[in-house]
Amino acid sequence: MADAVDNAGAAIEHHLATSLARHRLPVATHVAAHTPADCEECGEEIPAARRAAAPWAATCIDCQSIREEKRRHVR
């Protein structure tokens, strides 16, 4: 039976694997100017406060909210 530490470790491994896979993909033409400080959805700059609070964030707050809303409707 998995405990909280096992679950956290699995989540971290999944996040790392996903991030590494994403970085291996070719850069799409519409995201060619993307930098780590830019949202991968809309291309706008991710605010410094969000990057400081969540340095792994690849999207701005608005785009992340949309992603989460879509996930809620899929389930």
Q: Radius of gyration over alpha carbons of the chain, in Å?
A: 15
Task: For residue 9, give both structure tokens.
Answer: 């470790």
* Model confidence, pTM: 0.50
* Residue 4 vs residue 49, higher pLDDT: 49
Query: What mean pLDDT comes out for the span 42-62?
Result: 90
The domain locations on the chain are 4-74
d(Cα 15, Cα 39) in Å, to the nearest integer? 18
pLDDT in tens, 11-22: 888 888 777 777
CB atoms within 10 A of CB 59: 19
Q: Which of 68, 64, 44, 42 is nearest to 54 (CA)?
A: 64
Query: What mean pLDDT comes out for the span 32-58?
Result: 83
Is the pLDDT confidence value at 23 over 50?
yes
